[in-house]
Amino acid sequence: MSELRQQIKSKGTIDTYSRDVGYFRKYLVSKDLPPTLYP
């Protein structure tokens, strides 16, 4: 998220991105897929 801060994104934007990434991670885990790009 530091890249978003460097781009001077609002706190709301950063919070939304963080939340959505968390949802996507939970989806991957629920499908038995790796939640990271690097094992």
Distance of alpha carbon 10 from alpha carbon 21, whole angstroms: 17
19 CB-near residues (< 8 Å, 6+ apart): none
25 CB-near residues (< 8 Å, 6+ apart): 35
Q: What is the pLDDT of residue 39?
A: 59
CA-CA-CA-CA torsion sign (17, 19, 24, 28): positive
Rg (CA), the chain: 12
Q: Kindly report the pTM of this predicted structure.
A: 0.69
Distance of alpha carbon 17 from alpha carbon 2, whole angstroms: 12
pLDDT tens digit sequence for 1-39: 678 777 888 889 889 999 999 999 999 999 999 988 775
Q: What is the pLDDT of residue 5?
A: 75
Q: What is the pLDDT of residue 1?
A: 64
